[in-house]
Every structure is written in structure tokens, then in C-alpha cells.
Structure 1
Amino acid sequence: MRFIFILTGLLLLIFVWLYLDFSLGRQKHFSITRKQQENPILYGDFDIFPRGKSLFSDYFSELQSAKKHIHILFYIVRDDEFSQEFFDILKAKAKEGVEVRLLADRIGSFGLKKQTIIELQDAGVQFAYSNRIKLPYLFYSSQVRNHRKISIIDGKIGYLGGFNIGKEYIDQDPELSPWRDYHLKITGESIPSLQQEFFNDWKEYSEEKLTDESVYYEKQPKGRIPHQYVPTEANQLEDRYIALLRKAEDSIMIGTPYFVPSNKVLDELVQAAKRGIQITIVVPFISDHMLVQEASYRYLRTMLREGAQVYQYKKGFYHAKSIVIDEKICDIGTANFDKRSLFLNKEINCYFYDPAFVRRFKEILEKDILDSKQVSLEDLNKKNLKRTFKEAIAGAFSYFL
């Protein structure tokens, strides 16, 4: 009995500590997050890569052609055979005299071996971890992740999107292949702005003291497609999503691996449906994380009751992050349609305001719908005790999924 009493007391203390740690850490984070600046609408040219093999063939080729500097930020950098090819390119370029900086999220890239980092640094690659776990809010800081994926090569070519560095992203994971995602290759006048976003994170987490950043911001020629970068953290993304959804006049299309919106965002979608907006949601048929699929069901049921169309992508794993509003605006970036991206992660999205580009991307999304199975409310309401139990657990932890 005494043991049970002590154990119960310890569990209670742990729960109280976790609650206070997270609540106070979030309060401090929200208070010190810099006020979001509205980035200008600029013009550039874009390629869209929905498959990892074609993306990384192009990406590695551009890395190998770098002459001055390479700046890279990924959420996940694995330590597998595919990653080794990536590391070998970075080490070779650093030895040639190219400035190479690699920033990786501390939790997302947890499997990166210390020896691998030492080898990169010995070759001349500057490496840093972003969003390290730190006192006094250990639990909260462990949940705040840098989910951005940005690369800038020679200040002229940029990459941004949903792919990370690891074998699953080139279809070498048998359970999650083929991997479906969207990644952008960017040229044009907005590259210096993307470069600035990288340095905002680099200066926060690296020990390097930059004396003259101006050498990295060469003016680039104007492209054809109007677009706008939207970097967010803490609670900034929720308002941006709501403002975006309110622009809809005919349709909203959402592609996401995790559909776990906040109450405010869900209410905005419901109101859009009530005023006659056609809402289409594409999610995966298979899941890459425990409970995230079950966490989405309560929200999908709500949208199905309001007349939304829901599809589960069946031709591999669906990891896309996109929103299309009518044929006027589309959003492609790193943020998922979930509470973690809304309130915890650092993210960066790109809004496009060119109707021709929006139609081009919409065709890709419509192709994904053809490779999907439509889900009905009856499907999600079928009696399933195992699923019901998992949904209950997922609901309690949905903020972190």
C-alpha cells in the first residue's frame, strides 16, 4: 500500500511538472516571438517536384555545381545510405572552398551520429542544431520544433517544401512507398528573402559570428510568378490560415498528412461550407505516426456532415502540405494542417497569386485525388472498438500530434 501511495504521488508530481513546464514555456514563447512582418509579394520562377527521386536528382546536381555558398535547413536529416550521398557532396564542396552551412532540428535529426557531424566539420562544413532542448522548460522546448526545409545555393537557387533527407523520401521504405510530397525549386527576385529566413535561424542557433551578411544577398532578376513567403512560429499560423480560408468564394482544397485543426480553424471551415464553398480534403490512407490518423477522424466527421469531400490517398504515403483557394491562391510549404504546425513548430510557406500557376498545381492535386479513395461519414461511423479506443487516446494528445 505504501508503495502504491508513493508511486501515485510521484506520478502526480510528474504530471504537475509537465503541466507547469508546458504552460509557462508556451506563455514565454508566445510573449517573446517577434511580431510577424508581412513579407512583400515578389516575382520568381518555380518547378514543382512531387516525387523524391526527381527532386533529389536535381537538388544534388545543383549542390555539386555550387561555386560560393550552400545554406541548408532540414527538419529531418537521417544517417542512412541515402544521407551519406548528401554528406559526401557537402564535404566535397567544402573542401573545394565553398562555404557550406547545415542546420538540422535537434529532435527531428536525433538519429544523426556524432561521428558523422565530426566528419562534416573536419571537411569544413559548418553544422548546428536548431531548437535544442533547454532549461528551464525542458518539456516545452522538446516539443517546439524547427519544421522548415530551406536550401539556398550561391544566392541564386532556392528549394522549399515537404521533403527531408532520408531513404523514405526516395521510396526506399517498403511501408511508406512511394512517398508523395510537394517541393519547390525557386529562382528570381525572392531568393534574398529566402536567404534571410535561413540566416534568421542560423544566427539564433549557431556560434558563428557573421561580420558581413551583404555578400549573400545579391540582387536577382525578376521572375514571372507573384508569390509571398510566410514564415511562422508559436501561434502565428492560425491567424494566417483563417485569413486565407476567408478569401474563398467557390472552393477550398487541402492536402495534408495530418488533419488536426484548431477549433478556430475548424469553425472557419464549417462557416465556409455553410456559405456554399466546396471543400475537398486529401489525407493519407496509411499513417507514418501512431495515433495521428485516429486524431483526424473527429474533425473529418465534422467536415463530412457539412458536405465536404474527403479522400484518402492510396498510391503510397501522402505527405503534402497545400491549400488551394478557388483558382486565385495556393499555399505550398512546410506546415501541416494540424495543431503542432499551428502552435508549436517553426514553419515557412509560400503563397502564390498567379492563376496559371494555381491551375498548374491544382492539376497535380486533382491527379492525387484520382489516386485516392473517397471516404464517407458512414465509413468513419462504423463500429470499431479498437479505433474508438485509439481515437479517445488521440483526442487527449492531439495538440502534440
Structure 2
Amino acid sequence: MGITLSIIVFLLLVCLWLVIDYKLGRKKHLSAVTKREYPVRNGDLTLFTTGEELFKNLFDEIRAAQEHIHLLFYIVKDDPISNEFLSILMEKAEQGVKVRLLVDWVGGNKVSKKNEKALKKSGVQFFYCHKPKFPFLWYSLNERNHRKIAVIDGKVGFVGGFNIGKEYLGRDPKFGFWRDYHLKITGPGVHDLQTQFLYDYQDRTSEDLLMNTKYFPELQEGPIKMKMVPTDGAFLQEHFTELLNSAEHEVILGSPYFIPSKELVQALKNAAHRGVKIKILIPRIGDHPFVKEAAYPYFKPLMGIGIQFYFYEKGFYHAKVFVIDDKLCDIGTANFDKRSLFLNHEINCYIYDRAFIHYVKGEIRKDLAHATPLTFEELRKRSIFHRGKEKFSTLISGFL
């Protein structure tokens, strides 16, 4: 009995420490974080929806680099496509191109020690960002850099949902076909991606490169209006709420995870009550434990007011896309979940071009053709075990 009591006391103390650590860490973070604003730019965009297309284009651009390569990914793995990626970077560094690579400490934990040593030996400036640190160890462990940014010679940029790994090519049998959205950007908007990368690089290394003009060459404008929107574990809820409040006719939301805050649930309800048609596309399968179950408590109340949910069936759906009428499309790294809202550092691209928005909506229609509508009957048939997982998932939904 004494041992049992000691274990219970120990677990209670651990839970108390986790709560205090998170609350104090969050308070400190919010006192220091600032809202970063970038202007509306005129440039050009290319949308990639498969890993094969994206990686070929990205790798070709990296191979063609003459001066510098700046890369930030949440995940880089130890598999054939990751090793090819890292080999290209090492080759470019040995040619004299300045290569800087940031990888999140949690997401990039699969990079082998052998590759780490080889990268540094070749001259690649490789760093893990967002390492856990005292005094708020639990909070800092969860505050991750989820951005995916590539900038080549300050002239071409990439941002979106793809990381580096075999699953993003559809080569992991667990997930099958992988659907994602990623943008290639030319024009002055690349300056904002560059600025954001250099902020993240300075945060990790204390090296300030923001005033170095060679990283910001003069760039020709293009026909598409866009705006980069970075968030650092704050302000994303505000951005998403503003988007929903601006909707007049239609909202289409695609996300691998659906775990909204109370404020976003209310914004969805308000939009539905205004007569806005809302479609939400999420994957049938989950890529992390409990993530899928954490979404279920939201379905019935929102479906009851006319919001439609669809499960993507072809493989895994990882796109982060938000379309408001025909006036705005948001593609980036942020998911529609509490982790992106309140913990992760993200970056999204707002697009204001009607023709490009129509193109994106066409791609979403292709996704919906591989999706099944969620019905009240399916919700009713959930097992007791599934409902139990939902209850537990709700308790930990902020950290999924």
C-alpha cells in the first residue's frame, strides 16, 4: 500500500510540475512574442501537390544555386530521399555555396549522427532549432518550429506542407499516396521568406544576417498578390478568426488535423449561421496516436448546423489550405489544431489572386472526389472503445 501511495503521489507531483511549467512558460513566451507583419507583394506562384514534383523542382533549384541556400524543415529523416537531399547540400557546400540548414530538434531527431558529422565536415551550417531548455522544459519541448522554408540565392522560395522523408513521396505503405500543398514563389515575396528564415537562424545561432544586402537582391514583380503571415505560437487564432469572419458565401478548409479552439468553433458557427457554406476535408487515417479521435467531439455539433465534413480516402491528406469565397486562399504550414494555434511556429501565404484561387479550388475538387462525406450514422456507430479514446484525446488535445 505504501508503494502504491508513493507512486500516486509521485504521479500527482509530475502532473503538477507539467501544469506549472506549461503555464509559466506560456506566460513568459507571450510576454516576449511580437506580431510580425509583412506587406502584400506582387509575384508569381507555382503549386505542387505531390512529393515527386516538388522534390524534383526543389532539388534542381538547389543544384543550380550559385551563392547561398537557406533551408528550414520541421522533419528530415534518415532514408533514401533525405540522404539524397543532404548529399546535394554537402556537394553544394563543397563547391563554395553557403548552405544553412535548420531542422527542428523534435521533428529532425531521425537525422543520423553520421549525417550530422558529414554535413558539418562539408561546410554546411547545420543546426537543430528549438531545443528544450530550462527553466520551462516541458513548454519548450512542445514549442516547435514547424515552418518549412527554402530560399535559393534570395531569388526563389518554397513554403508549404512537405517535409523531407519517404512518406512525402508516397513510399510509406502505412500511409500510401501522400497529398500535400506546397508553393514555389518568385518575386519580392521571397524577401519575406528570407527575412523569416534569417530571424529563425539568428534565434538559434545569435548571428544577425538581416542587414546583409546580398541576401535580398532586386526581384521582378509578378501578377499575383500575396502576403507572408508568420506566427510564433501566438496570433494564428486571431488570423483564422478574421478569415472566417470575412466569409460571405463559402469556406473550404483542408487540414490533416481538426482540433480547433473554442474561439474558432464559435467563428465556424457564426459563419454557418450567416448562411456561409462550409466544407472541411481531413484524412480518414491518422499519422499520430489520438489525433483522429480528438476531432470527433467537434463533428456532431458542427454538422448539426450544416457544416460538411469529408474524409480523404485515397491515402494521407496533409495539405493546409483555407479558401474564403473567391477572394482569399491561405496555403502554408499551419494546421487547424491547437498545437499550431498555441505552440508551433508557422508561416502561411495569403493569396489574393482570383485566377489562382480558382485553380486551387479545382485541386480541392479533385481531393473531394477521393473523399467520403461524414454522416450522423457513422458517428452513431462508433464503438465504446472509440468513444473512450475520444475522451482521452480531448484531455491531451493541446499537445497532439
TM-score bracket for the superposition, by shorter chain length: over 0.9
**Displacement after TM superposition at 1:166 (Å):** 0.6
Query: Any residues of structure 2 matched to 1:1-400 within 5 Å, and which?
Result: 1-34=1-34, 36-206=35-205, 208=207, 210=209, 213-400=212-399
CA contact (8 A) 2:253 2:321 kept: yes
Identify if the C-alpha distance between structure 1 residues 209 and 241 changes in structure 2 by more than 3 Å, giving closer, same or farther: closer
Where in structure 2 are there 5+ consecutive unaligned residues?
none
CA distance in 2, matches of 1:194, 1:235: 19
CA distance in 2, matches of 1:211, 1:259: 36
CA distance in 1, matches of 2:272, 2:85: 45
CA contact (8 A) 1:305 1:377 kept: no
* Aligned AA (1:21): D
Q: After superposition, give the CA deviation of every residue in 1:231-272 in whole Å (9 maximum; x if it has no partner).
A: 001221000100111110100000000000000001000010
* Aligned AA (1:279): I
* Aligned AA (1:92): E
- SS state of the match for residue 168, structure 1? helix
CA distance in 1, matches of 2:347, 2:380: 35
**Displacement after TM superposition at 1:113 (Å):** 1.7
Q: Among all aligned residue pairs of Structure 1 and Structure 2, give the percentage whose two residues are the same amino acid.
A: 46
CA contact (8 A) 2:155 2:187 kept: yes
Where in structure 1 are there 5+ consecutive unaligned residues?
none
Q: After superposition, give the CA deviation of every residue in 1:60-115 in whole Å (9 maximum; x if it has no partner).
A: 11110111100000000111111110011000000100000000000011121222
CA distance in 1, matches of 2:360, 2:209: 38
**Displacement after TM superposition at 1:290 (Å):** 0.7
Q: After superposition, give the CA deviation of every residue in 1:196-250 in whole Å (9 maximum; x if it has no partner).
A: 0000100000254649522101120001100000000122100010011111010
TM-score of the superposition, structure 2-length normalised? 0.98
* Aligned AA (1:130): C
CA distance in 1, matches of 2:317, 2:381: 24
TM-score of the superposition, structure 1-length normalised? 0.98
* Aligned AA (1:103): L
RMSD (Å) for aligned C-alpha atoms? 1.1
- SS state of the match for residue 76, structure 1? coil
- SS state of the match for residue 246, structure 1? helix
CA distance in 1, matches of 2:214, 2:282: 42
* Count of residues in Structure 1 that have an aligned counterpart in Structure 2: 400
CA contact (8 A) 2:198 2:208 kept: no
